[in-house]
């Protein structure tokens, strides 16, 4: 049952939640130069479990590309640049499937798709640059373009072009912890919808389980009631534990498990290839001198 706007006294925002998120984003971004690939399997498996249980925390709390987009949005706000938090609905509907199509193209082994994505991927470019690698021109142009877009729109890259975000989103399809909305205290102000950078209809959801959700918790920080939105175990009366997975078709279940298998396999293959290259680079070069008679 919804209550009128005057029935509840608005509360102050929770800046500490967003301060914690920006601190986390800053830490993970600045720690990239010191990252050791030897820890990739352990970290990846830990993150995989986190995503499966609680959704995509990487995009909201750890991703360097997300950090720079959010930072640009904050700076633009400080300079009072007029912003539109979301793309027009028409463009949102057109572009929403794009990051999933990109992932499908890569997972099917389409070489030209994979090459083009890696060359022009803004996230890959900035991550490599922070890690000490010089990105190619197309990567720099791509990163710059999305940062400029971030002045006017929130997280355009994350919403429509990040194939890694699509993987993390699918991983969290069966999560049991999520953002919950209590209809009894909701005042229908729709401020949560307005601040969501991923264009999710939070104000009409019981349990937010959109594949687009990055767990940034801006909706929780903005909610004026203090009790309507929270993060925790899925509310039983609206979505019993496991009911979402039971309601999914065999094709949907297969997609979720297929992505998990591909992700785990790619993690260990990447680690194996990186380790092999490292060993090859350590092998002494033997010069063969041919003497002419």
pLDDT digits (tens, 9 = 90+) for 47-61: 888 888 898 898 999
User: 102 phi and psi, to 5 degrees?
Assistant: -65, -45
Residue 284 maps to a domain = no
Cα 130 from Cα 273, distance rounded (Å):
22
Residue 10 maps to a domain = no
Residue 292 maps to a domain = no
Tens-place pLDDT, residues 78-126: 888 877 767 777 788 888 888 888 887 777 766 666 666 777 889 888 9
Question: Cβ-count burial of 116 within 10 angstroms (0-12 exposed, 13-18 middle, 19+ buried)?
Answer: middle
Residue 286 maps to a domain = no
Mean pLDDT of 16-29: 89
Domain that holds residue 233: 15-278
Say whether pLDDT at 229 is over 70: yes
Mean pLDDT of 230-249: 60
Tens-place pLDDT, residues 149-183: 999 888 999 999 998 888 888 888 778 899 999 99
Task: Pick the closest to residue 137 from 122, 151, 127 (CA basis).
Answer: 122
Residue 27 maps to a domain = yes
Residue 290 maps to a domain = no
Assign 2 a pLDDT band (cuts: 50, 70, 90).
Answer: very low
Cα 268 from Cα 264, distance rounded (Å):
7
For tokens 């194996």, the residue is 272
How many whole angstroms from its chain centre is CA 123? 11
**Domain count of the fold of the chain:** 1
Residue 158 maps to a domain = yes
Residue 221 maps to a domain = yes
Assign 282 a pLDDT band (cuts: 50, 70, 90).
Answer: low
- Going through 35-185 in order, the beta strands assigned E by DSSP cover 177-181
Cα 232 from Cα 142, distance rounded (Å):
37
What pLDDT is attached to residue 249?
Answer: 57
Tens-place pLDDT, residues 245-271: 444 556 656 666 666 666 666 555 555
Between these two residues, 168 and 65, which has the higher pLDDT value? 65
Query: Percentages helix, strand, coil for the chain, rounded to the nearest 5?
Result: 60, 5, 35
Cα 45 from Cα 118, distance rounded (Å):
23
């Amino acid at each position: 049952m919804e209550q009128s706007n005057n029935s509840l006294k608005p509360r102050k925002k929770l800046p500490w939640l967003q301060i914690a998120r920006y601190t986390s984003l800053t830490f993970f971004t600045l720690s990239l130069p010191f990252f050791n690939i030897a820890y990739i399997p352990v970290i990846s498996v830990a993150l995989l479990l986190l995503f499966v249980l609680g959704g995509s925390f990487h995009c909201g709390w750890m991703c360097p590309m997300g950090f720079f987009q959010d930072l640009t949005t904050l700076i633009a706000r400080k300079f009072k640049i007029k912003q539109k938090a979301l793309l027009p609905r028409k463009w949102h509907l057109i572009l929403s499937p794009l990051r999933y199509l990109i992932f499908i193209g890569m997972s099917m082994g389409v070489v030209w798709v994979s090459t083009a994505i890696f060359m022009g991927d803004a996230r890959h470019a900035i991550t490599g640059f922070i890690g000490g690698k010089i990105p190619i021109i197309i990567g720099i142009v791509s990163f710059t373009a999305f940062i400029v877009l971030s002045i006017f729109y929130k997280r355009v890259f994350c919403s429509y072009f990040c194939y890694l975000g699509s993987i993390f989103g699918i991983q969290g399809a069966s999560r049991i912890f999520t953002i919950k909305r209590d209809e009894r205290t909701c005042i229908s102000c729709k401020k949560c919808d307005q601040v969501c950078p991923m264009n999710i209809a939070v104000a009409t959801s019981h349990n937010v389980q959109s594949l687009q959700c990055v767990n940034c918790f801006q909706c929780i920080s903005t909610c004026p009631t203090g009790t309507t939105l929270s993060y925790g175990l899925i509310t039983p009366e609206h979505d019993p534990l496991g009911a979402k997975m039971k309601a999914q078709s065999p094709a949907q279940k297969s997609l979720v498990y297929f992505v998990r298998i591909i992700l785990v396999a790619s993690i260990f293959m990447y680690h194996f290839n990186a380790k092999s290259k490292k060993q090859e680079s350590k092998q002494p070069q033997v010069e063969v001198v041919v003497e002419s008679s």
